[in-house]
Amino acid sequence: MIPSAFPAKDDIARLSARMLLEVGAVHFNAREPYIYASGLPGPTYIDCRKLISFPRIRSTLMDFLAVTVMREAGFEAFDNIAGGETAGIPFAALVAERLALPMTYVRKKPKGYGRNARIEGVMTEGQRVLLVEDLTTDGGSKLSFVDAIRDTGATCGHTAVIFYYGIFPETEKTLGDHGVALHHLCTWWDVLAEARAQAVFDAGTLTEVEAFLTAPRAWQEAHKAG
């Protein structure tokens, strides 16, 4: 069923943040910061992959993502839904089902044998493709997937994610310069507000998380090891 009537964007953000907290996808630790793929520290970590194990939450979030895309990009804006390997694949399948569209997925790199393909499924020249992922931080990892889609002759001008960090100002510029618009359900700011409302973490941890979100690069510089 194609969703059409759902809460306003602010309510979707609040409810999405609540669901991420409820399933334990949100981790805050200011005393022992997490190390990100960049090698830099941070007091926040999110695991959206957990969502696939919670059917009611998973279903609601995918309804939210489908309606967000239709509201912001158009009801007939896409011909194909592509998931990025690996975290984006289940969410792309669920969004494709809701929008009654074909689903494909994009490998991080050619598989190295057979057709040496990066695109799995059927994607054809001229198709308008929506790239679906679980989250985005600075937007950089999306560009390789977008380029692989465009190499088929299809177009890709939009990506949709459940969670967007929302703290690195270069993200939307990075994607925008590549001709890609970002659609998302919630950010760290929404999660922080909901965590405060529910008193999920202690006040000191939330204060430190807010300091990180306000000036992430400065926080990382001050907390780098050795």
Q: What is the pLDDT of residues 103-135, one digit of tens each?
A: 999 999 887 665 668 999 999 999 999 999 999
Domain assignment of residue 222, yes or no: no
**219 is a domain residue:** no
Domain-embedded: residue 40: yes
The phi and psi torsions of 94 (rounded to 5 degrees) equal -70, -40
Rounding to the nearest 10 degrees, give the CA dihedral for residues 98, 138, 110, 181: 50
Separation of alpha carbons 97 and 177, rounded Å: 30
User: How many domains does one find in the chain?
Assistant: 1
Q: pLDDT (tens digit, 0 to 9) for every residue of the chain, 226 residues total?
A: 676 678 999 999 999 999 999 999 999 998 999 988 778 899 999 999 999 999 999 999 999 999 999 999 999 999 999 999 999 999 999 999 999 999 999 999 887 665 668 999 999 999 999 999 999 988 888 999 999 999 999 999 999 999 999 998 889 899 999 999 999 999 999 999 999 999 999 999 999 999 999 999 999 999 887 5
Which CATH number do you get for residue 179? 3.40.50.2020
218 within a domain of the structure (yes/no): no
Q: Are the beta carbons of 131 and 146 closer than 8 angstroms?
A: yes
Range of the domain at 138: 9-211
In a domain, 216, yes or no: no
**Residue whose structure tokens are 């000191």:** 204
Asked if the structure places residue 3 within a domain, the reply is no
Q: In this structure, is residue 24 part of a structural domain?
A: yes
